[in-house]
Amino acid sequence: ERLKNDFQFLEVERQGPNKIEADIRKQQFAEIYEPFNSEDASEQSHRCLECGNPYCEWKCPVHNYIPNWLKLVSEGNIIEAAELSHQTNSLPEVCGRVCPQDRLCEGACTLNDEFGAVTIGSVEKHITDTAFAMGWRPDMSKVPVTDKKVAVIGAGPAGLAAADILVRNGVKPVVFDRHPEIGGLLTFGIPEFKLDKDVMVRRREVFAGMGVEFRLNTEVGKDIQMQELLDQYDAVFLGMGTYTYMKGGFPGEELHGVYDALPFLISNVNRCLGFEKDVADYIGVEGKNVVVLGGGDTAMDCNRTSIRQGASSVTCAYRRDEANMPGSKREVENAREEGVQFMFNRQPVEVVGDAGKVTGVKVVTTQMGEPDENGRRRPEVVAGSEEVLPADAVLVAFGFRPSPSPWFAEFGIELEQDGRIRTSADEAFAFQTSNEKVFAGGDMVRGSDLVVTAIDEGRKAAEGILDYLKV
Ligand code: FAD
Ligand code: SF4
């Protein structure tokens, strides 16, 4: 019996949760994976080799105790697994859904290649979803009481993770966000087919139950001033993200019908969630031939949102080859299944139009050249390869640059040359800015990256704040 269990991976294949058929899922803004049932989660968890040197744990940015919670799930011990999972991650059910596991934990699993990695992400999601459904909530009974309070600006993953660590150490976090719901890009960016919006609503209730206070619809610098926060709180954490849209820098980007990715995605969320203030704010591509420019997660989300809105065709043009795409392989596969056409090695050089309206995108073919300083192969243009892809809507998803607030300088918060916030590398006061009372983390410090890396920095910065407050 024991021997059979140890070699479960030989008998049980890697099997993720059921995925809804593409024809059905492309008609709805809802998650495409069904939940694991307990038997499947247990059986899949049991495939873990407990290989002694858990590379998965090292590759996971928050260093989750993966083999330990896989074992608990295989034994049916969901509540203990949830407790353990929350020791290292503030939003495990979110990471289980949106982390690019193929590049992180699962990509490092010893069973990879030959047998298929353990379905770590799906199990992580299963643990917290199931524990919450069973009524489990984080245990706050042993939290010490202090009289300290910290203002957190931004209810994205970085801010929420900071609030989580602070409240668990008896420091009262008050989280300010300009949006009407928590989550940052988790709510106003990442679409429902990757992350159901109910997940963040439930998290808000859980955090509120733990003692986190939220002040939504409140923009710092407009509705409340930074000086008030500095006066009223013992420290301030900044987790405000990066919101300057990168441009292609080619002619025609100003034509009618060319949209930045994030306003397009946000307008769709606002419509789905009933937050739309004015119907004119909605950017719809129903019945249009859409060209999406870019190859990251944001581009994939634009592709698949366009499909669901009922675009006539969706073509994604990317300047490198498929192997060099920055986004998650799983999401590229999902997009392809849903009908997105990919054109690799195509670099846009102009958006063409007629009477001020877009009619197409002129691209040139590229081939992969020598690796650059980061080891990524640089695309080179093939002479005479120009062609025009017909389009009546173009979505530009070239990524984000830092968007520092104009008031940072007034409070002595220094920036790196590219606009990211400069923070201390000192372990004792991790993520302290050049204003000793202000800490920062997430995309605004590291540049736009991942949910799990923002969580990691939010948690570390909160530890830095605890050092500073001497609690
Ligand atoms: P954000 O999530 O941007 O949160 C910042 C918050 O601060 C926002 O709510 C904002 O409203 C608020 N704020 C800013 N200024 C103020 C102010 N002055 N006053 C009040 N509030 C303010 N990562 C993944 O791991 N997997 C994915 O699949 C994935 N998909 C993505 C898809 C899209 C379309 C995008 C844009 C990003 C995606 N990412 C993904 C990246 C990920 O979402 C970000 O790296 C992460 O959300 C960064 O977290 P953050 O807390 O630093 O910032
Ligand atoms: Fe994998 Fe992300 Fe979960 Fe870490 S947080 S175990 S990288 S899914």
Per-residue DSSP letter, 412: T
Question: 2-133: which CATH architecture?
Answer: Orthogonal Bundle (1.10)
Which contiguous run of DSSP H or E holds residue 357?
strand 357-371
Q: Assess whether the C-beta atom of 452 lies below 6 angstroms from ligand 2.
A: yes
Residue closest via CA to ligand 2's atom 4 equals 60
Partner residues linked to 352 by β-bridges: 360
245-399 shares the fold of 149-242+402-469: yes
Compute the distance between CA of residue 410 and CA of residue 396 in angstroms, rounded to an integer.
Answer: 34
Cα separation values, 399 from 1, 150, 305, 332, 366, Å: 52, 31, 17, 17, 20
pLDDT at 3: 40
What atom in ligand 1 is closest to the CA of residue 158?
51
Compute the distance between CA of residue 259 and CA of residue 294 in angstroms, rounded to an integer.
Answer: 13
What does the block give as tokens for 445?
């410090």
- CA 298 from centre of chain: 10
Compute the distance between CA of residue 439 and CA of residue 1 in angstroms, rounded to an integer.
Answer: 53
ipTM reported for the complex surpasses 0.90: yes
CATH fold, domain 149-242+402-469, is FAD/NAD(P)-binding domain (3.50.50)
pLDDT at 71: 95
Residues 455, 459, 462: CA angle, nearest 5 degrees: 140
Domain ranges of the chain: 2-133, 149-242+402-469, 245-399
| Portion of the chain with pLDDT greater than 90, in percent | 87
Q: Which of 192, 220, 297 to mutate to test the pocket of ligand 1 (most atoms within 8 A of CB)?
A: 297
What does the block give as tokens for 133?
């459904």
Q: What is the domain class of 245-399 according to CATH?
A: alpha beta
What atom in ligand 1 is closest to the CA of residue 95?
25
For each of the chain's 471 residues, which pLDDT tens digit applies? 334 456 777 778 899 999 999 999 999 999 999 999 999 999 999 999 888 889 999 999 999 999 999 999 999 999 999 999 999 999 999 999 999 999 999 999 999 878 999 999 999 999 999 999 999 999 999 999 899 999 999 999 999 999 999 999 999 999 999 999 999 999 999 999 999 999 999 999 999 999 999 999 999 999 999 999 999 999 999 999 999 999 999 999 999 999 999 999 999 999 999 999 899 999 999 999 999 999 999 999 999 999 999 999 999 999 988 988 888 888 999 999 999 999 999 999 999 999 999 999 999 999 888 888 888 778 889 999 999 999 999 999 999 999 999 999 999 999 999 999 999 988 788 999 999 999 999 999 999 999 999 999 999 999 999 999 999
Q: Is 293 exposed, middle or buried (0-12, 13-18, 19+ CB in 10 A)?
A: buried
Measured in Å, residue 188 CA sits from the centre of ligand 1 at: 8
pTM score of the predicted model: 0.96
Q: Which of 85, 125, 452, 453 to mutate to test the pocket of ligand 2 (most atoms within 8 A of CB)?
A: 452
Q: Phi and psi for 104 in degrees, rounded to 5?
A: -115, -120
